[in-house]
Amino acid sequence: MPVPVFEPEKFDQVIEAPESFRQDAAAKKLSVGAIREYYGAILQGIDRSIQESSFWRKEERFAVLVEQLGSMHLLAEDWDSYGAPAPSRQSIGSAKLAVEKFRLSQLLPSIVTPSAEGGVSIYFSRGSQKAFIEFLNEGDVMVARYGKDDEPNVKVLRNGLQDLNDQAIQEIRDHLGAGA
């Protein structure tokens, strides 16, 4: 995927477009086709700006999630005062790799958090639909999907992170529905 580039002159063109168009139309007596083409180009520029802005907001959010994962190694045993084990370096590393897979798939998690079971959890939430992936310190990886109107679906990924493939990611996306 090409990296979007911010082009300030495009925004200036959009701001100056109405006056520029009036001058062009008066001077050249533009046809309806030329008017449509001119405004079409402006609308494409605006659409591209919106897409790039959304892309960068997601990229920023993914960077924050990775940073949060990186700081989890600082947690001590009993971090929740209920005896929870601290996340292991292995579970944190696996969760970071999973977040990168989600970034490449443009599936943005809602939150990453240490697991009370010992490990790391990555949560997704869209309306009443929820999903999470838990990377346990012992190496097990579980995926759970649930919602207000469905039975919970819990699956153990037998091959760990290797089983978090495009199909598993698509199942989470489908469960979450529109906007995921």
CA atoms in the 13 A half-sphere facing the CB of 125: 9
For 139-176, what is each residue's pLDDT tens digit? 999 999 999 888 899 999 988 888 899 899 999 999 99
Confidence of residue 14 (pLDDT cuts 50, 70, 90): low
pTM of the entire structure?
Answer: 0.70
In this predicted structure, the answer to whether residue 134 has a pLDDT above a threshold of 80 is yes
Q: What are phi and psi of 47, to 5 degrees?
A: -60, -45
132, β-bridge pairs: 123, 144
Helix (H) or strand (E) holding 51: helix 32-71
Q: What does pLDDT average to over the chain?
A: 84
pLDDT score of 1: 44
Helix (H) or strand (E) holding 160: none
For 112, the domain range is: 77-176
Residue 112 within a domain: yes
Q: Do residues 140 and 156 touch, judged by C-beta distance below 8 A? A: yes
For the chain, the domain total comes to: 1
More confidently predicted of 58 and 123 = 123
pLDDT score of 20: 63
Residue pointed to by tokens 């009036």:
22
Residue 37 within a domain: no
Residue 44 within a domain: no
